[in-house]
């Protein structure tokens, strides 16, 4: 650990996930496997939806962007974490650290609003099925996607700009495996009250507004499902949103635990476990959740494989 007299440190040192050499080897193998599944799963989902015309609907349009976002912010964190586990040098430049933080907050904020857009899509599909093609027009879908990325951009810009201006002279050691908000704030030798306020406003606005949208959508969906008389009709309606509801529960459970709590409640061990889950594990799980529990995706996979086989036979 080293203290700095100047206000801008040249680099940071990431403490990583563990100091044990045996654990580092085991974790590196596990994270490499997870990252490979993440890349293959999300790229496979994007390609399959693009190739199968029957999946060219608003729900799968949103799912393409969800896969892109999951792949993107996993790639922002996981390769660097793997490098740190396999090498003795765990440094990251000042610019590299804040670039990582910027991209992480950007894609994380975009995913929050994308999940709320997907919840609204499910609300329209179940509560207003006859008007679904009119309401969920191509123009609205693109507007919702643009809005998701715009909110993520604004969120990360305010968050990172408020932190990067702080003087860092206490230490250059980040007690985390990536450049996250609170571990970086802990290094500042300046009063961070205003910065914390900005972070909570940005993060709270993103999480709370998207959660309100999701909650309202699912309350309406549940009310509609309960009015359906047939059991098969209820099961069919519930199956259309089960995958999304599961993904939302996992994602928001870990992010809310980490960010929407007082800084005094920060716990390195518990927060690292939660961070590993939503930065590395969830991007791998989402393609599995949306494919294994979805008959349309399974059927599309077999159709794409069948066409690929037929094309190979013709050659």
Cα dihedral sign, 117-122-128-131: positive
Output the CA–CA distances (angstroms, integers) from residue 245 to 24, 128, 138, 166, in the order listed. 34, 19, 24, 39
Q: Which of 60, 42, 39 is nearest to 296 (CA)?
A: 60
β-pairing verdict for 11-14 and 91-93: antiparallel
Q: Where are the beta strands (DSSP E) in the chain?
A: 11-14, 91-93, 173-174
Does the residue 298 lie in any domain?
Answer: yes
Average pLDDT of the residues in 196-222: 88
Residue 64's domain spans which residues?
Answer: 11-310
Does the residue 3 lie in any domain?
Answer: no
pLDDT greater at residue 271 or residue 243: 243
Average pLDDT of the residues in 164-182: 84
Which range, of 19-23, 31-35, 247-251, 254-258, averages the lowest pLDDT? 254-258
Does the residue 230 lie in any domain?
Answer: yes
Q: How far apart are CA 104 and CA 120, in angstroms?
A: 25
* Burial class of residue 149 in the structure, from the number of CB atoms within 10 Å of its CB (0-12 exposed, 13-18 middle, 19+ buried): middle
Cα dihedral sign, 151-152-155-160: negative
Does the residue 5 lie in any domain?
Answer: no
Does the residue 62 lie in any domain?
Answer: yes
Q: How far apart are CA 252 and CA 220, in angstroms?
A: 20
Average pLDDT of the chain, as a whole number: 82
Number of structural domains in the chain: 1
Does the residue 38 lie in any domain?
Answer: yes
Residue 269 pLDDT: 56
Output the CA–CA distances (angstroms, integers) from residue 96 to 11, 91, 102, 103, 181, in the order listed. 9, 10, 10, 11, 14
CATH number at residue 58: 1.20.1070.10
10-64 tens-digit pLDDT: 888 888 887 777 788 888 899 999 999 999 989 988 988 888 777 788 988 999 9
Does the residue 315 lie in any domain?
Answer: no
Which residue, chain included where needed, has tokens 């920060």? 266
Confidence check: pLDDT of 83 > 80: yes
The tokens of 121 are what?
Answer: 């899509």
pTM reported for the whole predicted model: 0.86
pLDDT greater at residue 295 or residue 207: 207
5 pLDDT band, cuts 50/70/90, is very low
Residue 97 pLDDT: 92
Does the residue 26 lie in any domain?
Answer: yes
| Euclidean distance between the first and the last CA atom of the chain, given in angstroms as a whole number | 62
274-288 tens-digit pLDDT: 778 888 888 888 888
Residue 1 pLDDT: 45
Average pLDDT of the residues in 157-170: 86
Average pLDDT of the residues in 54-77: 90
Helix axes 231-259, 193-227, angle to 10 degrees: 170
Average pLDDT of the residues in 228-257: 77
């Amino acid at each position: 650990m080293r203290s700095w007299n100047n206000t801008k440190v040249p680099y940071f040192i990431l403490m990583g996930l563990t100091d044990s050499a045996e654990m580092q080897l085991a974790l590196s193998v596990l994270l490499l496997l997870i990252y490979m599944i993440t890349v293959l799963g999300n790229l496979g989902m994007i390609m399959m939806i693009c190739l199968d015309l029957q999946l060219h609907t608003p729900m799968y349009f949103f799912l393409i962007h969800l896969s892109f976002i999951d792949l993107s912010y996993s790639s922002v964190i996981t390769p660097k974490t793997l490098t740190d586990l396999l090498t003795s040098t765990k440094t990251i430049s000042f610019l590299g650290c804040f670039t990582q933080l910027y991209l992480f907050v950007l894609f994380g904020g975009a995913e929050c609003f994308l999940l709320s857009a997907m919840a609204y899509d499910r609300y329209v599909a179940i509560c207003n099925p006859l008007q679904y093609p009119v309401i969920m027009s191509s123009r609205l879908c693109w507007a919702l996607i643009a809005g998701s990325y715009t909110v993520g951009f604004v969120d990360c810009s305010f968050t990172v700009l408020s932190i990067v201006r702080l003087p860092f002279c206490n230490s250059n050691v980040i007690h985390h495996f990536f450049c996250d908000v609170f571990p970086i704030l802990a290094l500042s030798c300046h009063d961070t009250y205003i910065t914390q306020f900005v972070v909570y406003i940005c993060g709270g606005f993103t999480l709370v507004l998207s959660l309100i949208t999701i909650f309202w959508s699912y309350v309406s969906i549940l009310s509609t499902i309960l009015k359906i008389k047939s059991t098969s009709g209820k099961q069919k309606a519930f199956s259309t949103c089960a995958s999304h509801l599961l993904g939302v529960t996992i994602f928001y459970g870990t992010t809310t635990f980490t960010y929407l709590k007082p800084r005094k409640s920060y716990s390195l061990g518990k927060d690292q476990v939660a961070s590993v889950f939503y930065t590395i594990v969830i991007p791998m799980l989402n393609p599995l959740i949306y494919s294994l529990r979805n008959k349309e995706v399974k059927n599309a996979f077999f159709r794409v494989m069948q066409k690929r086989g037929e094309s190979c036979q013709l050659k």
